[in-house]
Amino acid sequence: MMKTQSLQRMLIGLVLAMTLVAPWASASTNYYVVAPGQSTPTPPWTNWGWAHTNLIEVVAAARDNDTVYVTNNATYWLTNQIAVTYAITVRSWGPGGILDPTNTILSGRYPGATNRHFQLNNAGAAVAGFTLKKGCEIYGGSIWLQNGMVTNCTIVSNFAYTSLEVQGNDKRGGGGVHMEGSSGGVWNCVFSGNTATNSGAGICIKSGGPWRIASCRISGGNALISGGGIYAGPGGAGAIISNCWVVSNYSPWYAGGIHLANCAECHNSFIMGNSVDLYEGGGIRMSAGALVRNCLIVNNITQKSHGGGVDARVNASIQNCTIASNEATLKEGGGINLDGSYSAQLENTIIWGNSGSGTASNWYIYPTGSGTNTFTNCCTAPDIAGVGAYTATEVNTITNDPRFVNNATDFRLQPDSPCINAGVNRAWMDGAQDLDGYRRIDNFRKTVDIGAYEHLGRGTVFKIH
């Protein structure tokens, strides 16, 4: 975990540096905002003594390369959304000028009002260092991100609503952030307790891209249709989720944690403790060329269908993941559900210790259609080749216990694991890292391990000059 934490700190530092030194942060004018009663606002509000008390008016006056500083230790009650249409940075100001999301709070005042916090629509627009709470809109309860970036924010208890007649329209989603337009992303943010009456309680990606979601923690989301944590819908292009924790989110229909479609990707992330009631994908539901790589998918549940950990179809691809301790309470396939009508590819992946009804606890393939699901150098049981008329092929399947350090809490490999040096090397692994931040292919064994973690052998390394 020390390696992972170090990597996360490096990424956070890089994001902060981008926020502070990028062209749009090299301000031609600095504007200042304080809470009502803390100053006598005097245009042009360019020092703390003249600071404005209305953030909406200051942002409306700013232009390209300007920065708006908002003092901490205050809650700002919004009467409308803040539209950021120029290349400006809006950021908090804590002691010594640091970002202070904990003590700089913007409230949309829901349920007393229905105000989204921000609408961003400029490649150089940036919002950094706020707690954004009680926002409400028909999509993007807190932020409608058309273009730009959001960093170092806590996005909590926001709501995206819709009427029952249009629940099938996935545009009506994104309790925290709704992404639709050009490109940008969210870095180093915490999402908690957001709600959507359609899809994507934390984040909903509707269209456009490439979009990036990196080093975020998304928990406690509730989406009525799909994606209790994240919904990367069929209209999004180039959505990539990386180094995230998607934990304890819920949807009654599909994808308690993440819904991935249209070639969306999830890398080096933890998908844990998410749940769904009626259909597939307690942890992840993926289709249309979606990719999941180097992820730990554990302790997710589906109550009434298949695929407690993962539901994968339509050319979905799973590479070097560990899928363990998931549950399908009333159906087969506690670990993963596949459909014989489609084709999915699993490679270098452990599917072990999951629970479901009947004998198909780790994996289940719905026996219909002409698709071919492929297992290459995976560790699971029972052996795919020895079970029924499933539409699947397998190469080098290991059916022995992968030998986790701890079957409930630590899914790294013990030294005698049959998964060590048992994977198949691929071009993407050159320079890539596992979930702990170690090289996927080391300089000694030169063969990848199966699962989300590379085993780091103990011993002494001598460097000879």
Separation of alpha carbons 437 and 454, rounded Å? 9
Residue 446 lies in a domain: no
The CA distance from 429 to 256, in Å, is 29
Average pLDDT, the chain: 89
- Is residue 41 assigned to a domain? no
pLDDT number for residue 182: 87
Query: Is residue 173 domain-resident?
Result: yes
pLDDT in tens, 29-71: 999 999 988 999 999 999 999 999 999 999 999 999 999 999 9
Per-residue pLDDT tens over the stretch 321-356: 999 999 999 998 999 999 878 889 999 999 999 999
444 in any annotated domain = no
Number of structural domains found in the chain: 1
| pTM of the complete model | 0.91
Type of residue at 12: I
For residues 179-199, average pLDDT? 95
Closest listed residue to residue 75, CA positions, set 128, 130, 11: 130
What does the alpha-carbon distance between residue 396 and residue 377 come to, in Å, rounded to a whole number?
5
Question: Other CB atoms closer than 10 Å to residue 325's CB: what's the count?
Answer: 23
Per-residue pLDDT reduced to its tens digit, 286-307: 988 899 999 999 999 999 999 9
Whether 251 is covered by a domain: the verdict is yes
Query: 202 is in which domain, residue-wise?
Result: 2-28+64-406
- Position 36 in a domain: no
Report residue 456's pLDDT band, with 50, 70 and 90 as the boundaries: confident
Residue 415 in any domain: the answer is no
Domain assignment of residue 76, yes or no = yes
pLDDT of res. 181: 87
Q: DSSP state, 72?
A: S
